[in-house]
Amino acid sequence: MNKNNYCVIMAGGVGSRFWPFSRNQKPKQFLDFFGTGRSLLQMTIDRFRPIVPIENILIVTNVLYRDQVLEQIPDMKADQVLCEPARRNTAPCIAYAVARIQAMEKAKGAAQDIGKAKIVVAPSDHLILQEETFRQTIQQGFDFVESNDALLTLGMKPTRPETGYGYIQMGEVVEHDDERASVGEGICKVKAFTEKPNLELAKVFLESGDFLWNSGIFLWSLESIRTAFNEFLPEVASKFKEGADMMGTSREDEFIQAMFPTCPSISIDYGVMEKAKNVYVIPSDFGWSDLGTWGSLYELSDKDENENVTLHSEATYYDSHGNIVTLPKGHLVVVQGLENCIVAESDGVLLICKRDAEQQIRQFFLDAEIKHGGKFS
């Protein structure tokens, strides 16, 4: 296993679109959605273990979730959990991890090769069905960023006109390896990133064959991402430079507590990827879902003869079709005359709404938080 491989797992989100199942105190990355006995975070770590040394895996999360991370990943040391004192989106999150990896490399005494560390950045709450193909794709990415000054992302081949994802437009193919034909069609230059489209535009993207779903998974060398931060987000890079000597020491936490909340809230996509010229994408297909909504969970789950999904609990259906029902284990729900609905109960909150209203769930969550003072959030 290559000791220069690093993995950064972003695990600070709340997952409010999965309320009430996902809550402020235990968001979706810590939940076992499919009854496998493993949370999404644990599945993510398991996925990277064969290709990244466990000591080189860092989890960036909110300070509120530090203990939950250590409980779920017991062989991870406390100093591998980087705690954000405030939520500032993905660019400061990644900058923090990059600063720590730089300190880790210096501690190894590899000053002359410090930029050669290779980093994969991934969310903690995605689902990957074909894990071996995923690892082959990541290795392809590691090989590419090792020999190229590149900011690389994985783009998923679209299977439907999805309006919930951003898209990546592919440019020219810059690397094609016949031995990797089963993994992808080659690494492409990125022509453009696009925001989440409306349905008509999503259909155009699908039919053109030139667009991929933006997965939010990135690879780069330490040197390439440091250079990119310095050029495109100097207001973030400069803050971490001030504390470079404190990273990996007893003074790191005090520095981060004071500095991190002053960082701008900005995504790595908007702050770096959409501006840089050395951005590439691997067209990928390994059974990916960002598991971002009840709708995506419904699509991935086993269904009965009437297209109903039941998770964790027991359910009996009468004249009902296309529902997703999840209650605490040991509970029974009887459903009559319900079509295409979400029925979810957790910790004193019962949600019943139409599946096509799932984008409103975040607003339901916010309204409940305001009305009840956070009691049910």
Q: What is the CATH number of the domain that holds 118?
A: 3.90.550.10
If pLDDT is split at 50, 70 and 90, which confidence band does 363 have? very high
Query: 31-35, 145-149, 351-355 — which is least confidently predicted?
Result: 31-35
- How far is 369 from 377, CA to CA, in rounded Å? 6
Check whether residue 204 and residue 324 sit in a common domain.
no
Q: How far is CA 206 from the centre of its chain?
A: 23
What pLDDT is attached to residue 110?
A: 56
Check whether residue 70 and residue 212 sit in a common domain.
yes
What pLDDT is attached to residue 108?
A: 83
Identify the H or E element spanning 282.
strand 279-284
Is it the case that residue 182 has pLDDT exceeding 90? no
Q: What is the pLDDT of residues 73-108, one digit of tens each?
A: 999 999 999 999 999 999 999 999 999 999 999 988
Q: Is residue 146 part of a domain?
A: yes
Check whether residue 167 and residue 31 sit in a common domain.
yes
Domain boundary, last residue among 248, 265, 289: 289
Q: Could you identify the residue written with the tokens 């770590």?
A: 45
Query: 11-15, 138-142, 246-250 — which is least confidently predicted?
Result: 11-15
Q: What is the pLDDT of residues 309-341, one digit of tens each?
A: 999 899 999 999 999 999 998 999 999 999 999
Calculate what percentage of the chain has a pLDDT beyond 90.
79
- How far is 183 from 319, CA to CA, in rounded Å? 44
Check whether residue 284 and residue 307 sit in a common domain.
no
- How far is 84 from 60, CA to CA, in rounded Å? 7
Q: How many domains does the chain have?
A: 2
Q: How many CB atoms lie within 10 A of CB 124?
A: 25
Check whether residue 266 and residue 362 sit in a common domain.
no
- How far is 319 from 334, CA to CA, in rounded Å? 11
Q: What is the pLDDT of residues 229-240, one digit of tens each?
A: 999 999 999 999
Domain boundary, last residue among 257, 289, 321: 289
Is it the case that residue 219 has pLDDT exceeding 50? yes
What pLDDT is attached to residue 290?
A: 87
Average pLDDT on 59-74 reads 96
CB 336 within 8 A of CB 318: yes
- How far is 339 from 346, CA to CA, in rounded Å? 21
Instruction: Encode 111-140 in three state secondary structure.
Output: HHHHHHCEEEEEECCCEECCHHHHHHHHHH
Structural domain that includes position 353: 294-372
Q: Cα-Cα-Cα-Cα dihedral of 335, 337, 340, 343, to 10°?
A: -30
Check whether residue 103 and residue 181 sit in a common domain.
yes
- For Cα atoms 232, 280, 237, give the angle at the middle one, nearest 5 degrees: 20
Check whether residue 64 and residue 200 sit in a common domain.
yes
CB 224 within 8 A of CB 272: no
Q: Is residue 377 part of a domain?
A: no
